[in-house]
Amino acid sequence: MKRSLRFFLIVVLMIFISVQFVSAQSSFPAGSTSGTTTMNSEVTPVTVPLVDLQLRQPENGKEVAFSVQILLLLTVLSLAPSILILLTCFLRLSIVLDFIKRALSLQQVPPTVVLNGIAFFLTLFIMWPTFNQIYKNSFRPLADGQIGVETAYTEAEAPLRIFMYKQMVNDTSYISMFMSMAKLPKPNNLADVPTYALIPAYILHELTVAFKIGIMLYIPFIIIDMVVASILMSMGMIMLPPVQISMPFKLMLFVLIDGWGLLTQQLFNSIIP
């Protein structure tokens, strides 16, 4: 009991000494210059704008329509990545680039982010005339107040519909399939195909074309793998992985024929003949 009391008194004494020491250190030394916290009147203070959001009941039908238009615009903005991936040539380019990476037996080089970046900028290059037409006919007049949201949507939809239809003009089987699934009459031209049937048909068409190109890219590299594997088997090197030996030969072949340049040119020609 006495030891506990003695220990308690020692702790209280140490706390008291520490507080006195801190108080002594926090005071300004003698002869120091006095300071002030008043701001100079010549300094312009930083103004922070006030953001105020007011919710109220719409007073007429125009305000209701405007609110619905804002919701639709926010929905389109949230779906912008999906629109860029599915309604452009990005889908075909990204799949083909991934196929060539696997055909070369490459695991980490080039990274998937780099391949997606290449596909993205190639998409901008190929789709630039379409995007430019959308900007001139839809976005710019809408920003200037010359047209409404409905007209802007129609003007923005038309170039994308034309681009997607041009890719399927030689193979309209997917359009016919979705038209029959929707129980719609057989279309005679693009105007007879609704957008909700054209988009899934275009997506399936792009997947099919990308896989066809990927198969054609795989064939020469598979032949190299088979030749290397047969040579290793004949030499009795069963434990040596054939991919480890064939990969340098595939890379040399790909570099010697300027594979990236040929691949990019052929992809461009397949989209814009």
Question: Tens place of pLDDT for every residue, the chain, 273 residues?
Answer: 555 556 666 666 666 565 555 455 445 555 555 656 566 666 666 676 666 566 666 666 666 666 676 777 777 777 777 777 888 888 888 888 888 888 887 777 788 888 888 888 998 898 888 888 888 888 788 777 777 777 877 888 888 888 888 888 787 788 888 888 888 888 777 777 888 888 888 889 999 999 998 888 888 888 888 887 888 777 777 777 777 777 788 888 888 888 888 888 888 888 887
Give which of 210, 215, 214 is closest to 271, Cα–Cα: 210
Predicted pLDDT at 22: 46
Residue 145 CB coordination number (10 Å) = 7
d(CA 227, CA 75): 53
How many Å is the maximal CA-CA distance in the chain? 105
Contact 138/156 with Cβ under 8 angstroms? yes
121: tokens are 């900028």
Residue 49 CA, chain-centre distance (Å), reads 33
Contact 272/126 with Cβ under 8 angstroms? yes
Q: What are phi and psi of 240, to 5 degrees?
A: -85, 125
Predicted pLDDT at 249: 81
Contact 246/228 with Cβ under 8 angstroms? yes
Contact 101/115 with Cβ under 8 angstroms? yes
What's the 3-state SS for 15-67? HHHHHHHHHHHHCCCCCCCCCCCCCCCCCCCCCCCCCCCCCCCCCCHHHHHHH
Contact 168/202 with Cβ under 8 angstroms? yes
Predicted pLDDT at 112: 84
Q: Is 188 helix (H, G, I), strand (E, B) or coil?
A: coil
Predicted pLDDT at 55: 65
The domain segmentation of the chain, as residue ranges, is: 65-213
